[in-house]
Copies of this chain bind each other. A is one copy, B any other.
Amino acid sequence: MKRPKIVVLGAGYGGLTTVAKLQKKLGVNDAHITLVNKNDYHYESTWLHEAAAGTLHHDRSRVKISDLINSAKVNFVQDTVTAIKPDEKKVELQDGEVLEYDYLVVALGFEAATFGIPGLLENALTIGSINKARQIREHIDYQFAMYNNEAEPKEERLNIVVGGGGFTGIEFVGELANRIPELCKEYDIDRSKVRVIVVEAMDTIMPGFDPELIEYAMNSLEARGVEFKLGAFLKEVRVDGITVEQNGEKEDIPTMTTVWAAGVRANHLVEESTLEDNRGKVEVTPELRAPTHEDVFVVGDCALVWNKEIDRPYPPTAQIAMQEAEVCAHNLIALVKGGELEPFEFINRGTVCSLGDKDAMGSIFGGKKIFGWTASFMKKVIDNRALFKIGGVGLVLKKGKFNIF
């Protein structure tokens, strides 16, 4: 009797939820499970905007993988995946190791998409990892620290441009709006000198959200000094400024800080493998397998699942990644121990967008709109629920958000 080898790539929401369920349901003799991740920690990627704004310490949003896995059942390899070879049933790692598998779970998450905007890759910051998030925090701090040290104070040090008024951009700006008064106090800077500018190509922020929710969010943020440029296209990003085009007119805005939160794409390894078949992602079968390789499952931001109701793909979220992981794990268990494979179906539990520590908005329970404290409370419940899924009650108690009042 040969133990099948299951290899899970990535310890984000998708990968880790898969492993959590596998190690609960499979015995040591059922399968040989390997988890591969670049860092020795998992991070809550939906919390990174807080670390980037400096309102939550990044250590609060990460947890050692060794604290989450059962090392008797799961072999953890800390390394970076360099290639997926589905035809050879192999995965190559940076240190030269080659992992063979019987079943593969690709859960490698997202990268920033730059849409070829000149200078964006070189000069904009992205909220993509613990390293990037604390870099943004320090970058902004540094601009404020420099401001009073120059004979000619530079307004570009106090202008912060956020590219993208979608979920990540708005959540980041919400935290930033709370952080800026603290920074002004720290560095003796007049609040009125600081500008936070959201540049969004669509005519609205949070496209797809209910107009009432959008208005609530804009009011909340504008009251805290955030400016919006809607229907505005980022044309160029320089070290010390950007060019934006709105209503056919170009404007230069001096800024040392452009945070790009407008586009994500699947990990480039997917496109480089033979698995990719739709916009850099894998349009998975109902069982979440790659259509060309039934021994490969894909979950999270690398998977594309169609929302038939509106004939568009579901956007990549932590919620869908974790739901996919549940089904993926179920199906792997069925393949190993025998049983029925089940198809994936997304259950929309609602979406809440944080607007800073004490404010939020969103919809839950199939459309009920919530605002302010209620929404902020629900957001924390959702964040804690994600921790529970990955690390149980222990992790919720350790890293959970209980600052509800």
Chain A interface residues (CB < 8 Å from chain B): 131-132, 134-135, 137-139, 141-142, 144-146, 148-149, 186-188
Q: Which B residues are in CB contact (< 8 Å) with A139?
A: 142, 145
Judge whether A146 and B141 touch: CB under 8 Å: no
- Tell which of B135, B145, B186, B187 touches A145, judged by Cβ atoms closer than 8 Å: B135
Copies in the complex: 2
Taking CB as reference atom, which chain B residue is nearest A186? B134
Which residue of A137, A138, A186 has the most chain B CB atoms within 10 A of its CB atom? A138
Residues of the B chain whose Cβ atoms lie less than 8 Å from the Cβ of A137: 145
Q: A135-B149, A139-B142, A139-B145 are in contact. List 18 more A-B contacts (CB 8 A).
A: A131-B148, A131-B149, A132-B149, A134-B145, A134-B186, A134-B187, A135-B145, A135-B146, A137-B145, A138-B138, A138-B141, A138-B142, A138-B144, A138-B145, A138-B146, A141-B141, A141-B142, A142-B142
Measured CA separation A188–B131 after assembly (Å): 9
Q: Is the interface of A mostly helix, strand, loop or mixed?
A: helix
CA distance A385 to B1 in the complex (A): 80
Rounded to whole Å, the gap between the CB of A78 and the closest CB of chain B is 12
| Docked pose: A146 CA to B138 CA in angstroms | 9
A186 to B188 CA separation, bound complex (whole angstroms): 25
Most chain B beta carbons < 10 A, residue from A131, A137, A186 = A131
List 13 A-B pairs, Cβ < 8 Å. Answer: A131-B148, A131-B149, A131-B188, A132-B149, A134-B145, A135-B146, A135-B149, A138-B138, A138-B141, A138-B146, A139-B145, A141-B141, A141-B142
- State A145–B134 Cα separation when bound (angstroms): 6
Residues of B within 8 A of A186 (CB): 134
CA–CA, A142 and B145, complex, Å: 11
Cα-based distance from A355 to B134 in the complex (angstroms): 30
Task: Specify which chain B residues have a CB less than 8 angstroms from the CB of A145 in the assembled complex.
Answer: 134-135, 137-139
Q: Which residues of B contact A142 (CB under 8 A)?
A: 138-139, 141-142
Q: What separation, in Å, do the CA atoms of A354 and B119 have in the docked complex? A: 47
Q: Which residues from chain B contact A187 at a C-beta distance below 8 Å?
A: 134
